[in-house]
């Protein structure tokens, strides 16, 4: 499906202007550099799909995203640069994934207890919608403030989790991404998302797995791949596989990383090998 959509777009976009891409070109393997030179960025397919949902997908109450946030996302320009942040209407610090889900249940008539809807959102709608909304902040500097006490608390929690050693391997996010950053693991270079302000290229398209990912996906997957952990932060929750989406722990880590990326210029969708 994805591949087909991508190819179709590639044909239409053939020779089109080069889109935004964030990753330093020299870091990309040749086949990806060639794609970009042809003006083809598979991540744009997802942003376009998100724009389509944004304008045309009606909730059970007949509202679209555009009914409240304006044509072409007019009122959401710059919003992504300040997220995650505290929202009074939902009483939570939310990242992009959770914010959009909350809008759909609170303002569009979807039932928050409807498991089928939640699954559809998580699997199908979340990534394109988040990607589209993120593109509305392209060219702007990340500017996460910690004005609200709830934001400060989440930030501190995220920082603590970043350095907390857990799991069968006794790893922490920070061991790989702060202490060992720059070295290689399984032949992959270890990035330093905190120092390098790499939040600026998320959501990103990962060519190797042919997938578009938001930062939630990245954090949850790193968790699964490297920490191999029962959730020692809260032993009642078993996270040997992956933390579930939209949990506080993941959003706290996102807030910590995004704050560290303040000043970085947003260029999404990113493109990673």
Q: Could you tell me where the DSSP H helices lie in the chain?
A: 2-13, 30-37, 43-56, 65-69, 96-107, 115-120, 126-135, 149-163, 173-174, 215-222, 248-260
200 near ligand HEC, rule: CB under 6 A: no
Residue 97 CB, nearest approach to ligand HEC (Å): 10
Q: Is position 218 an interface residue for ligand HEC (rule: CB under 6 A)?
A: yes
Q: Which of 135, 198, 200, 261 binds ligand HEC (CB under 6 A)?
A: 198
Residues 63, 165, 211, 242: which binds ligand HEC (CB under 6 A)?
63
Q: Does 272 bind ligand HEC (CB under 6 A)?
A: yes
CA distance to 17, 42, 178, 209, per residue, from 273 (Å): 21, 12, 21, 8
**Nearest-angstrom CA–CA distance, 143 and 125:** 26
Rounded Cα–Cα distance for residues 63 and 55 (Å)? 10
Q: Does 98 engage in binding with ligand HEC (CB under 6 A)?
A: no
Measured distance CA(261)–CA(144) in Å, rounded: 9
In angstroms, what is the minimal distance from the CB of 220 to ligand HEC? 8
Cα separation, 203 vs 218, in Å, equals: 9
Report the DSSP beta bridge partners of residue 204.
213, 270
Decide: is 100 part of the binding site for ligand HEC (CB under 6 A). Answer: yes
Which residue out of 65, 68, 176, 222 is catalytically annotated? 222
**Exactly one of 65, 142, 212, 255 binds ligand HEC (CB under 6 A); which one?**
65
- 65 included as an active-site residue: no
Residues 6+ apart with CB under 8 A from 176: 185, 190, 226
Measured from the CB atom, is 6 or 132 closer to ligand HEC?
Answer: 132
What are the catalytic residues? 222
Binding site for ligand HEC (CB under 6 A): 54, 63, 65, 67-69, 76, 79, 83, 87-89, 99-100, 103-104, 107-108, 129, 133, 171, 173, 175-177, 185, 188, 190-191, 193, 198, 218-219, 222-223, 226-227, 253, 272
């Amino acid at each position: 499906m994805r591949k087909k959509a991508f190819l179709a777009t590639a044909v239409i976009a053939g020779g089109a202007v080069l889109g935004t891409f964030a990753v330093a070109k020299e870091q990309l393997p040749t086949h990806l550099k060639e794609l970009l030179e042809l003006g083809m960025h598979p991540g744009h397919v997802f942003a376009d799909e998100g724009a389509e949902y944004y304008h045309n997908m009606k909730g059970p109450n007949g509202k679209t995203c555009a009914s409240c946030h304006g044509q072409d996302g007019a009122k959401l320009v710059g919003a992504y640069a300040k997220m995650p942040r505290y929202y009074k209407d939902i009483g939570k610090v939310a990242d992009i994934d959770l914010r959009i889900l909350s809008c759909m249940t609170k303002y569009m008539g979807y039932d928050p207890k409807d498991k089928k809807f939640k699954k559809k959102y998580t699997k199908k709608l979340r990534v394109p919608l988040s990607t589209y909304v993120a593109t509305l902040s392209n060219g702007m500097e990340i500017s996460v403030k910690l004005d609200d006490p709830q934001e400060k608390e989440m930030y501190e929690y995220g920082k603590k989790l970043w350095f907390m050693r857990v799991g069968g391997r006794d790893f922490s996010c920070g061991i790989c991404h702060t202490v060992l950053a720059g070295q290689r693991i399984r032949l992959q270079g270890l990035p330093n998302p905190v120092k390098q302000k790499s939040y600026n290229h998320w959501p990103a398209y990962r060519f190797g797995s042919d997938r578009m990912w938001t930062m939630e996906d990245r954090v949850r997957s790193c968790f699964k791949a490297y920490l191999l952990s029962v959730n020692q932060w809260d032993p009642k929750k078993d996270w040997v596989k992956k933390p579930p989406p939209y949990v506080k722990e993941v959003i706290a880590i996102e807030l910590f990383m995004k704050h560290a990326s303040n000043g970085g210029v947003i260029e999404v969708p990113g493109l990673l090998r």
